[in-house]
Chain A
């Protein structure tokens, strides 16, 4: 898929076919995520991959807003290890760039995916820490839920000139 098609037609997909995502595709998602920029190139990220309907659907118990996980074949929790940072306090930005790369890669592979926010919501972070048994100090940023799409969401034009300022606000 061409880059601008990917950027402009990617939508959040929350309904998935009952079909596993091949390991090779999972690796391409992770590979794209790890090419994200990070402050001082610290790459403070970790990824917890969950495969299979049963395993993925259990996530919805810990993260009630991840309802779509109940019928998804794949989920990836994007986390950070802040002790790897060179410029403390940037991990949520680094991991967000990685998340966006992952969503675009999923779209490029014909998968559908959605970013379920975990950071900065204390309850969700607590739920994710417990469910995924994250080691002390590891911070969860987002859960990416993905699969082959069972819905098609048309692209929407989000360009809003009122959000653009020239030279000064």
Chain B
């Protein structure tokens, strides 16, 4: 499998919304999910669950129930990242924990030459309900984001995003 320097990964990752029809190996998907579970979490509670969706019918359905997840139609697969309120040690922190896991997923995909995009679900009540019904989530599961992924059909160039005006040195 490919390898990439951590800074190259951090600085060149982009949201990928167009995919080729090539399949993604199980080994690659496993590596991405492993990376997700290595994220930090408050009290190391690891309050997350992941639903891997590869079924074409379900991916098409997700494109219908989420206005910004249309690219799921062309994605090889997707990962639903959920918080689990039963696992929290510091209640309320799960969106931060699951966001760190989601970012690990995006970086891992990029490192493997794959690409994906974070389509937000939480805090949208209706979107959360749509995913709950479609994928059979229990009530305690909080769908945070869906990441459709695959082999990039095109890779956008890396923009410069450093904004010095957002940095406050030794006081705001």
A96 to B172, CA, bound (A): 20
The number of residues on chain A lying at the interface, defined by a beta carbon within 8 Å of a beta carbon of chain B, is 66
Task: State whether A47 and B167 are in contact (beta carbons under 8 Å apart), knowing that A3-B5, A7-B35, A7-B108 are contacts in the complex.
Answer: yes
- How many angstroms from the CA of A136 to the CA of B75 in the assembled complex? 42
Q: A2-B4, A35-B13, A168-B136 are in contact. Are A97 and B99 (CB under 8 A)?
A: yes
- List of A residues within 8 angstroms of B138 by Cβ: 169
How does the 8 Å CB contact mask read for A143-166 relative to B, with 1 for contact and 0 for none?
000000000000000111001111
In the complex, whether B42 has a CB less than 8 A from a CB of chain A is yes
How far apart are the CA atoms of A28 and B136 in the complex, in Å?
Answer: 42
Q: What distance in Å separates the Cβ of A46 from its nearest Cβ neighbour in chain B?
A: 5
Interface residues of B: mostly helix, strand, loop or mixed?
A: mixed
Which chain B residues numbered 94 to 115 have a C-beta less than 8 Å away from chain A? 95-96, 99-100, 102-104, 106-108, 111
User: Chain A interface mostly helix, strand, loop or mixed?
Assistant: mixed
Total contacting residues, chain B, CB less than 8 A = 66
A55 interface hit (Cβ, 8 Å)? yes
Q: A2-B3, A99-B100 are in contact. Are A169 and B49 (CB under 8 A)?
A: yes
A105 and B166 contact, Cβ closer than 8 Å, known pairs A8-B35, A35-B11, A121-B92? no
